[in-house]
Amino acid sequence: MWRAEVFTLFPDMFPGPLGGSLAGEALQRGLWQLAAHDIRDQGIGRHRAVDDTPTGGGPGMVMRADVLAASLDAVLQKDDSRPRLVMSPRGRPLTQARVRGLADSGGVIIVCGRFEGIDERVIAARGLEEVSIGDYVLSGGELAAMVLIDACVRLLPGVMGKEASGTDESFENGLLEYPHYTKPRAFEGREIPAVLLSGDHAKIEAWRRAEALRITQERRPELLAKAVDEEAKKR
């Protein structure tokens, strides 16, 4: 079963929002598992210290390599083949394609950073891959880990209904999604586009594709250029 193994200084933050709604229901139904491990259990001395000052000077504190390594080693089997990730603004940006890959693996191992960051040596020594959820800085990796887990969990078999398989969504075909409408037919003088009420499925599909292209061009032209490139390569 798909299992997220999270290493954090704040295990009580979990499941947090992952305990509600779609992910939470799936957790209760046993469709995935979550374990949050307290890095501080391997802390040093009476105060269970996990951090120290940056070598070479500078502000803040750095998570110690030996403490984090001991925390990982105490829990993980050597032959555990799940991707080992560490949340980091320096990491490779998370994409829907990567999320699909992670959802298709047996689960994930995620380290949540705190302070100024983590001693570089443990990242290398334990083969951790740095992953970012965007070009901004959070105060810790926990929320970032939750974002990643939520994105994976909704793709696991049985979590979303058949009618919402996720294959038609933003990023799945390289484009942003078309606009949605529902009742009422008129809202504050704004009508639902007539084509969507026509019952002509081919026309509706063509309209949605055109809208997806228009919105992607307006908001994320670099995505459109990439999608066009990929299409050309397939031909």
Q: Write out the residues near ligand SAM by the rule CB under 6 A.
A: 87-90, 112-114, 116-117, 132-134, 136-141, 144
First to last CA, the chain: 38
Judging by DSSP bridges, how do beta strands 186-187 and 3-8 pair with one another? unpaired
Sign of CA dihedral 192, 198, 215, 169: positive
Question: Which CB atom, from 83 or from 140, has the smaller least distance to ligand SAM?
Answer: 140
Distance (Å, whole) CA 59 – CA 131 = 23
The phi and psi torsions of 58 (rounded to 5 degrees) equal 115, 170
Distance (Å, whole) CA 196 – CA 204 = 6
Residue type, 214: R
Closest CB 62 distance from ligand SAM, rounded Å: 9
Residues pairing with 8 in the sheet: 38
Question: Which CB atom, from 171 or from 173, has the smaller least distance to ligand SAM?
Answer: 171
Closest CB 9 distance from ligand SAM, rounded Å: 10
Closest CB 50 distance from ligand SAM, rounded Å: 13
Closest CB 203 distance from ligand SAM, rounded Å: 42
Question: Which CB atom, from 137 or from 194, has the smaller least distance to ligand SAM?
Answer: 137
Closest CB to ligand SAM belongs to which residue? 113
Question: Which CB atom, from 141 or from 227, has the smaller least distance to ligand SAM?
Answer: 141
